[in-house]
Structure 1
């Protein structure tokens, strides 16, 4: 039936054109943004997962920064410890040389004093971002014998956990301003002379070749060697923590990349598919406009029936 009130063909053509335009707008949005799921209305479940994963990845980025800061702090402490070990080795060598009867121990002591000053300088200057693991003050309110480095961020359901890598500064400190309990400032007392000394303060300038003084000197050598052993153990611990932090940095970087890939799988648009679809929809839009135009002309054809 031909009707001038209801143009069924035009209505059908318009519905088809509107549907094509809607799909075209969606495809153009995907092409321009690069996202298949750009908002919750596109796919609420995928958008929610992707948003949470992006948030967690941001937290991992902060963990990566913290690991970098921790690695730098460890590097400074490790470098300082190695330098201190070399200085203590030199002090030990000087003391062994002073054991030889007849040597000028006063001159040897002048060299030892310079090495002691160097040790103190190493301890005080091994600082990074306000952190000094070699020269501490255990009486300070902010002092913590176990230093921790943020190393991981994980989520289980709605709960999150922060992982850390700890290092025992208490066993590796060279100086402690509070109670002289560091490796280099902890004290001993000579058996015969009753002199209190540490690696940092020992003085052999007044020692003679008497058996008692030589025995005290050997005691100092043994004490210095013991300090050297503790420093070597501390350096090994620092090296182990340094390696672990490095491995954790690599893992966090890889994990962040993997999460990004997962997010991309959920929400990224396939640009090859979308570009092909865009061209097809543009053709459909042109055909829809033409079809609607033809449908609208059908009503005009009815006028020819009334011509005389």
Structure 2
């Protein structure tokens, strides 16, 4: 039966053509945008995963920027520490030159003072974006990554970079820390340097006076080319006999250096007494120095006390420069290691970001070769659909022949 009201053939052809046009529109969209999943309606689950990964990529880009800025700041600190180490080498050479007979100690002193000022200038300039890893102590947490747990919750990860105070600053208020039984302390009693001959048992007694100490004062002891530092705490000063407590801790610090034939003994019979012994296996002549850096003074503030006017001054100066050089070299090594870790992490974040981008592309990017082939096929189907609809629309017209 042929009906002029209901053309089922045209209806079927029209539905087919609509489906073809819909598929053709999708194919054209894929070719235009390059995405097979451009929105949530295309594939809600995959789109949501891709969006989460896109947000992670954006976050990783910020992490990368943070790492690169920190790498630059730490690298500047390394360069500053290395430069200061070189200046200390020059200073040590000048102190040594001052020990020669007939040396012009006035000119040498001026050169030493100029080197000290140059070190401070380097520290002041070693700042990038407010970060100065050689201008103060304390640790800086550098954003290094973002992690997700099994529930999808995200958290930040950090790499701690320790800072070092290599500023010369000022000498600070003298504490009158040391008194020697044979040798006289310099720099307001905060620097005591002497030489101990091999086999000289109980060669010197150093009396520690903690009366004027404050928390944060640093006591350094150097023996030959080795050195150790102890920072006075509030708990130490709260003890009934603070000098004894600190003296015991200094003995432990020297013992930990493990210098054969050398020891520092605590004399419990006299408050704050430390007895220097240089006898036993492996004994050798040793240059020994006790120095105190006041809290809040520059990390290398002891350099402000260096003088080469007398033999005692020169001996103390040599010890002070050696101790400072050890501190600076340790700072350069630590910062160099931190710079290496940050650079390795930056490289990893870069690769991780690339992997995320690749994964996102695999999920949502269109296969352009496939899309092109599908577009050609759909265009052919569209033409055939139009032709089929045209034929179906002509069918009711044959009814007219029955009324002629």
Question: What TM-score do the two structures reach when normalised by structure 1?
Answer: 0.87
- The one of 171, 186, 189 aligned to 1:195: 186
Distance 1:272 1:27, change over 3 A: same
**Aligned pair 1:300/2:294, yes or no?**
no
Match of 1:210? none
Q: CA deviation at 1:107?
A: 1.6
Match of 2:166? 174
**Aligned pair 1:148/2:251, yes or no?**
no
Distance 1:99 1:189, change over 3 A: farther
1:222, 1:262 → 2: CA distance?
60
Q: Deviations over 1:209-243 (max 9, x none)?
A: xxxxx244223212211211121111011111111
State the secondary structure of the residue aligned to 1:200.
helix
Distance 1:187 1:115, change over 3 A: farther
1:7, 1:227 → 2: CA distance?
100
Q: Is the 8 A contact 1:190 1:219 kept in 2?
A: no
Gap regions ≥5 residues in structure 1: 137-143, 208-213
What aligned pairs does 1:22-41 form with structure 2 within 5 A after superposition? 22-41=22-41
1:110, 1:199 → 2: CA distance?
16
The structure that is strand-richer by fraction is: 2
1:128, 1:154 → 2: CA distance?
28
Distance 1:92 1:238, change over 3 A: same
Gap regions ≥5 residues in structure 2: 192-300
**Aligned pair 1:255/2:352, yes or no?**
yes
What aligned pairs does 1:1-308 form with structure 2 within 5 A after superposition? 1-136=1-136, 145-156=138-149, 157-169=151-163, 172-175=164-167, 192-196=183-187, 198-207=301-310, 214-307=311-404
Q: Bigger CA drift: 22-31 or 188-197?
A: 188-197
Q: Is the 8 A contact 2:306 2:317 kept in 1?
A: no
State the secondary structure of the residue aligned to 2:304.
coil
State the secondary structure of the residue aligned to 1:37.
coil
The structure that is helix-richer by fraction is: 1
Q: CA deviation at 1:102?
A: 2.8
Q: Is the 8 A contact 1:84 1:119 kept in 2?
A: yes
Distance 1:189 1:108, change over 3 A: farther
State the secondary structure of the residue aligned to 1:130.
coil
State the secondary structure of the residue aligned to 2:165.
coil
Q: Deviations over 1:228-279 (max 9, x none)?
A: 1121111011111111111111111110000000001111110110111111
Distance 1:93 1:190, change over 3 A: farther
Match of 2:264? none
Q: Is the 8 A contact 1:193 1:216 kept in 2?
A: no
Q: Is the 8 A contact 2:67 2:143 kept in 1?
A: yes
State the secondary structure of the residue aligned to 1:201.
helix
State the secondary structure of the residue aligned to 2:142.
strand
Question: What TM-score do the two structures reach when normalised by structure 2?
Answer: 0.67
